[in-house]
Chain A
Amino acid sequence: MQTIAKGRAFVFGKNIDTDQIYPGIFVEITDPEDVAKHAMAGADKDFVNKFKKGDIIVAGTNFGCGSSREHAAITLKGVGVGAIIAESFGRIFFRNAINLGVPVITCKNISSLVKEGDTVSVNIATGVIKNETTGATAKAVPMSDYVMNILQSGGIKAMIKEQLAQGK
């Protein structure tokens, strides 16, 4: 996992549910590359054409609420999201993202500090967030050691695979 993510910010509001991140009509798709083609299709149909690998999603409270569909995390991983910084996350989406090694960063006042198109950097290990465009800084809510360990292992699949290999 890269410690520092830096990219252009795509800003969303509060309660962005998984139907907006990945509409239900596409859940029958299982190939991750195909899943990536429909990222944020319920909120912004043009998102996949504008979003570049390493860019950052910024959102208000409860990002990823709603359905448990892992497609929502898979699709954002697939488009190469550098990090998702939100004021809070739906809990299943949060777990799904961590399990896939996608940095999900909680920051209470991020919406007031970042505008669409600003360049934002975040140090995932220290939780220091900087709006490189305005100079504003913020601090993430620290993750538990357990969660950070999954993230730093590159996701839970790699972690379990390692445990199985060691016969644990």
Chain B
Amino acid sequence: MHAIEKLLAFKAGKQSVATGEIVNCDIDVAGINDLYLQTVRSFYEMGGTKVFDPDKIVMFFDHYAPCATVMQADNHKHFRAFCQEQGIKKLMDINQGVCHQILADKGWVYPGEIVIVTDSHTTTHGAFGAFGTGVGATDLATIMVTGKLWFMVPEIIRINLTGKLPKGVYAKDVILKIIGDLGADYAVYKAVEFAGPVMKEFSISERMCLCNMTTEMGAKACYIQPDEITLAYLADKVTAPYKIYETDPGYQYAADLTYDVSNFVPQVAVPFSVDNVTDLAKQAGTQLNQAYLGSCTGGRTQDIAIAAQILQGKHIAPNMRMILVPASKAVLEECLAKGYIQTLLAAGVTLTATGCAACLGIHQGLLAEGETCISSTNRNFPGRMGHNKAHIFLASPASVAASALHGVITDPREEL
């Protein structure tokens, strides 16, 4: 069996499972985002009265925090009342950040867990050897009532990364290259594992970026075998015992792919789909209005550090705006302590509250018709960050910073 299968089998109370089998599993973390008051509605519509275990439920105010409209404020108000009524103590209010980053910062995600959040990018938690997947509001309500959720045991694809990553090329470039190569629906219903020697070069931050973006190739879940890098990250965060599963030798992957990253160059996803990927150099010179640095994909300390390095002592181009959204309170505090925020403010960057912000086109930096943005986020669909005819180019944080500096899409290797 694969490690993911062993994990699902254990949580379903079974000795073994097979691909395609439907299993009902105990859920360790059930996260609700503020967009989905439907979760509470569905809970009551099902006949729910008390949640199965208030300590396993986390409420995240991230997608519109702080609120930009009265309707949003009203939704938060209802959620606060629900948490109070149900004894849910883990209410991550508007100062805390994006759900996935909070789970990592607080040590609430670790190997062997099943993490379910009402957010499609829950694949992120494969970076910790957990089974993470996104669901809708009513699935989450099912967990609130029963403590369990059903899954089909997925086929698993392994992607081996070999070679040496060149300077100026990051995890974001690697995953964009792979999505461009395989397509937005390559891994629908399947799980993706990353393996190979390059994983030893990737920090937890970069591993989270890789796993996060597998959602954009349709993946149900992602997996990276926990190693010394994982254990070092968890050491001062997690006190609970956890179990690391290992894949049996000879496990048959649905596909086993290898990419040598040695010749990789900075990548960009061109509007309007995440798999419309090309070498960034081919788009160099494209006129920009906005640069956006943030999100569960590209708003961590390491991402902000590289932007600060590129913009140190410089200023973003005239007629350009750059928006910085640290992924969480912990990220913001660390970046303040290290001086990155101060550097970026001096460079003309606009700092906004932590959270999802304009990544999904709700508030804090929307685009007008015909405007163009380079972004460290995960989606460039029509209308994703504002007007349907605004253009979003997805790239690494380094590419975002280098492009902000010049006001046109710029190869970051020129600035390092």
Contact = CB atoms under 8 A, between A and B. Distances in A.
B145 A90 contact: no
Contact of B218 (A20, A69, A91, A155): A91
Interface string B194-222: 00000000000000000000000010100
B157 to A, nearest CB: 14
Interface string A79-107: 00000000011111001100110000000
B383 A19 contact: yes
A25 B185 contact: no
Interface string A52-68: 00000000011001111
A165 B47 contact: yes
B287 interface: no
A146 B184 contact: no
Interface stretch (B36-44, B88-96, B301-309): B36-44
Interface in A2-52: 14-15, 17, 19-20, 23-25, 27-30, 42
A133 B251 CA distance: 48
B360 A67 contact: yes
Contacts of B136: 68-70, 73, 92, 95-96, 99
B218 A62 contact: yes
Interface residues of A, number: 42
A91 B188 contact: yes
B410 interface: no
Contact of B383 (A15, A23, A88): A23
A161 B35 contact: no
A156 B189 contact: no
B139 A95 contact: yes
Interface of B: 22, 35-38, 41-42, 45-48, 63-64, 69, 71-72, 75, 118-120, 134-139, 141-142, 145-146, 150, 152, 184-185, 188-189, 218, 220, 273, 360-362, 379, 381-384, 388
Given A144-B22, A161-B46, 10 more contacts: A15-B184, A17-B379, A24-B361, A25-B362, A61-B185, A65-B184, A68-B120, A95-B136, A157-B138, A164-B145
23 contacts: A15-B184, A15-B273, A19-B379, A24-B384, A27-B362, A30-B37, A30-B38, A42-B383, A69-B136, A70-B38, A71-B38, A73-B136, A88-B185, A91-B218, A95-B136, A96-B139, A156-B142, A157-B42, A157-B141, A160-B46, A160-B142, A161-B46, A161-B47
